[in-house]
Structure 1
Amino acid sequence: MKILFLDIDGVLNSTFWNSDNEREISEGKFIDSEKVLLLSKIIHETDAKIVLHSGWRFWFDDNMKPLRDEAIYFNEILKAHNLFIYDKTPDLTTEEIRKSKKFSLVKAREILLWLNKYDSVEEYLVLDDLDLNDKEIEVHQIKTDANVGLTKENVLEAIKLLNLKTLEI
């Protein structure tokens, strides 16, 4: 099984997109559909499963049912591209981390904790705009630029990394 750990802000939206789409944001639509199209290319070329490791995961219950309008819209735009969220990472944040928004302090540990639960993961990739401060995760991460979000170059790199084992056969 291949896993794509997905962050949302700075990946499926961006600083530039946000400034041009204030009306959509006011309607709870925080996702750039062009970025979802890029994400779909990764998923369909690699058969990876999406595990949400964004703060957005708190907008879904344990069965990945949306709890907020933003999450409903996110699910709808994913479904339009035949994409689905497989799971979400556990929450290791503290009150202090949530207040300071320093999620990068625990994101790598959350990912590793999730990976330790599943023996069937053959390859994984992390899409995030933050530095996750972990050498093991770093080699599996494509760090996006929060100003532009996911790019075609990121997509090509992601497909290559996720299909690495397949190519070696």
Structure 2
Amino acid sequence: MNIIFLDIDGVLNSSPYFKSMKDTDETYNEISDFHLKKLAEIYHTCNAEIVLSSTWRNLDNPSNKVCYQMYEYLLKSLAKYDIKIMSKTPTIHMNRPLEIITWVNNQIDKEDIKFVSLDDDFSVEDYAQYGIEDRLIHTKFFCNDISEGGLQQEHVDRAMKILMN
């Protein structure tokens, strides 16, 4: 099974993307269509599943209407490219690498899992603490140009290489 652990901010958007969207009238514009297409390329080419590792996973609470609307926006954005969220990582001290390895270790067929983590927040060193540094596809939120931020083709190529080998 091929798994993409998905962070949202810094992967499906970036600081320059938000600057480019500041004058739009859209209610929600947190997710870039350009970056969604890149995610879809990995997802469909590698027959992958999405496990949400972003703090956005905490928005999935229908009792909080404002947060839940953002979560529904995420689901609709992904659905435009026929992408679905299969699962979410547990919340463990907001330590994404630990949450990822815990999710993997809790799977019945964990030996059959190949995975990548699309993440801008945690470093290679953070992932190395759990022996999964080679699975990190490190993207950028803070950068100077929209062509540097979020999921780029170099990240797509590396993720597909990891998942397909």
Residues 24 and 30, structure 1, Cα contact 8 Å, conserved in 2: no
Whole-angstrom distance in 1 between the partners of 2:25 and 2:53: 21
Match of 1:144 in 2: 139
Name the TM-score, length of structure 2 as normaliser.
Answer: 0.84
For structure 2, the residue ranges without an aligned partner over 5 or more in a row are 144-148
Q: How many residues align?
A: 150
| Unaligned ranges ≥5, structure 1 | 94-102, 165-169
- 2:121 counterpart SS class: coil
Equivalent runs, 1:112-131 vs 2, <5 Å: 112-121=101-110, 122-131=113-122
Contact 1:59–1:67, Cα closer than 8 Å, also in 2: yes
How far apart, in 1, do the equivalents of 2:156 and 2:88 lie?
A: 21
Q: Deviations over 1:92-115 (max 9, x none)?
A: 13xxxxxxxxx4xx1111111101
Give the structure 2 partner of residue 157 of structure 1. 158
- With normalisation by structure 1, the TM-score equals 0.82
Is contact 2:53-2:88 (8 Å) kept?
Answer: yes
**Cα displacement (A) at 1:137:** 2.1
Counterpart of 1:97?
none
- Return the structure number with greater helix share: 1
| Structure 1 stretches of 4+ moved >6 Å | none
Kindly state the Cα deviation for residue 67 of structure 1 after the two structures are TM-superposed: 5.3
The answer to whether residue 41 in structure 2 is matched with residue 44 in structure 1 is no
Provide the residue aligned with 1:68 in structure 2: 68
Seen in structure 2, the aligned counterparts of structure 1 residues 90 and 24 have a Cα distance that, compared at 3 Å, is farther
Partner of 1:49, secondary structure, is strand
Three-state SS of the structure 2 residue aligned to 1:50 is strand
Shift in Å, 1:39: 0.2
Amino acid at match of 2:136: Q
Shifted more, 18-27 versus 137-146: the winner is: 18-27
Aligned to 1:84: 84
Change (3 A) 1:134 1:14: same
SS of the counterpart of 1:35? helix
SS, match of residue 9 in structure 2: coil
Over aligned residues, Cα RMSD in angstroms? 2.0
Query: Deviation string for 1:63-120 (max 9, x for gaps)?
Result: xxx9522211111111110000000000113xxxxxxxxx4xx111111110111132
Paired-residue identity, % = 32
Offset at 1:50? 0.3
Q: Which moved more, 1:38-47 or 1:143-152?
A: 143-152
Alpha-carbon displacement from aligned partner over 1:39-74 (angstroms, at most 9, x marks no partner) = 00000010110000000000125xxxx952221111
